[in-house]
Amino acid sequence: MNFETKAIHAGFESDPTTGATTFPIYQTASYEYESAEEHSDVFFGRKFGHQYSRITNPTVAAYENRITALTDGKGTLCTASGMAAITTALLSLTSAGDEIIAAKSLFGGTYYLFKHVFENFDITVNYVDTTDLASYEAAITDKTRAIFLETIGNPKMDVPDIAKIAALASQRHIPLVVDGTTTTPYLFDAKAHGVSILVLSTTKYLCGSGTTIGGSITDLGTFDWKQTKSPRIKEVGEKFGDMAFLARARRQVQSNTGSTMSPMNAFIASLGLDTLTLRMDKHCANALALATYFQAHPNVKAVHYPGLSTNPDHDIAKRQFKNRYGGLLTIQVGSKEAAYRVINETKLARILVNIGDTKTLVVHPKSTIYRDFTEQQADEAGVFDDLIRISVGLEHIDDLKADFDQALKKAII
């Protein structure tokens, strides 16, 4: 099946009890059994069944199955948010004293997670330039338990050569964890590029309408967990074999930290999958057209979008993302004051911190998401005073051009 067909049919189940073709919302905290024996069998795994919705829920499982099928993975775990997905995946792989290698150009929330939570538990994060394979290699030590990067750095818009980093990680028996939120499985086939674990914020393009926070973790089946250097996963592997990572993530980390996706959110997010490909095609087309327009605009000093042939990562992005480059772009307009003026003068674009909505969204990253970064960190993350991040929506391109044009004209100070 082609991806467009898979997005609608793959892993999709009708409700087994009623045949309802939209999988129902099983809004229940727990599940009742006929006898203490049967209940115990479910807990011991001798019989399949749900115990408690913090651990599993049929509506969430139906959504998980769709993501697994779409990514050709081994299994998926949905989480309360994209941040919960990153937290759960990386906590499952690490213990105190371990190290993670991460790209310098990370979404701010992930950076704060590392700084305020992981470092507090003595898990060190070593940052590298994601476009420089040698810097990944140099950062590997015998304590490295994961390499973490984003398919397109948000908001730096830099694009790593993921197959090369995956080959290096595999050679050194280190799982490569990739945040594919900005590209979605439609633009980026993570398994084909050798990624071990794909994490997504389903809040963004997967859901699509900016209504519902959620996340997912998929084990793509490319990493041999027998080779793991994580003693916890090794231990779980004795019982669960090649499902070791997923079992550790679900049964030990997620179910005990409680970062579960709610059935209502799984239902809403699942509806978004049906239209993912249509929306992504339009996001990508609009973003490319807008980026091209900005390139020729006298009031725009720089445009960052991997779809532009002048972008330094264009060739890698073209090959990696099948000639589509996502719906995010950034522009520089000369000063913070000018950036604020453009943001304030746009009529269609909404001022908020989200991406992947049907509506076009604008934000000044430096004074919001990256407010606590030092100048050096901000520079390395591609966050400049005059930078505006635009999540390009599904409006008519002429309306978007006209809106930004009138805002940019008023921004000359």
Residues interacting with ligand PLP, by CB under 6 A? 81-83, 107, 109, 150, 154, 179, 181-182, 201, 203, 213, 215, 355
Residue 123 φ then ψ, to 5°: -105, 115
Element (H, E) at 217: strand 215-219
* Residue with the CB atom nearest ligand PLP in the bound state: 82
Residue 355 vs 411, nearer CB to ligand PLP: 355
Closest CB 215 distance from ligand PLP, rounded Å: 5
Closest CB 79 distance from ligand PLP, rounded Å: 9
Closest CB 153 distance from ligand PLP, rounded Å: 9
Closest CB 390 distance from ligand PLP, rounded Å: 14
Closest CB 200 distance from ligand PLP, rounded Å: 8
Closest CB 354 distance from ligand PLP, rounded Å: 7
Burial of 83 (0-12, 13-18, 19+ CB in 10 A): buried
Q: Kindly calculate the radius of gyration of the chain based on its CA atoms and give it in whole angstroms.
A: 22
In degrees, rounded to 5, the angle at the alpha carbon of residue 89 between the alpha carbons of residues 284 and 269 is 45
Alpha helices in 45-189 (DSSP H): 58-71, 82-93, 108-113, 133-139, 162-171, 184-187
Residue 24 vs 109, nearer CB to ligand PLP: 109
Q: What is the DSSP letter of 261?
A: P
Residue 154 vs 228, nearer CB to ligand PLP: 154
Alpha helices in 296-335 (DSSP H): 314-320
- CA–CA distance, 209 with 194 (Å, rounded to integer): 30
Closest CB 4 distance from ligand PLP, rounded Å: 24
Residue 324 vs 341, nearer CB to ligand PLP: 324
Give 272's contacts (C-beta < 8 A, 6+ positions apart). Answer: 202, 206, 207, 208, 209
> Cα dist. 335→171, 342, 368, 387, 412 in Å?
45, 11, 16, 8, 10
Closest CB 91 distance from ligand PLP, rounded Å: 15
Give 16's contacts (C-beta < 8 A, 6+ positions apart). Answer: none
Residue 179 vs 219, nearer CB to ligand PLP: 179
Residue 112 vs 240, nearer CB to ligand PLP: 112
Residue 333 vs 355, nearer CB to ligand PLP: 355
Within 10 angstroms of residue 48's Cβ, the number of other Cβ atoms is: 8
Residue 88 vs 299, nearer CB to ligand PLP: 88
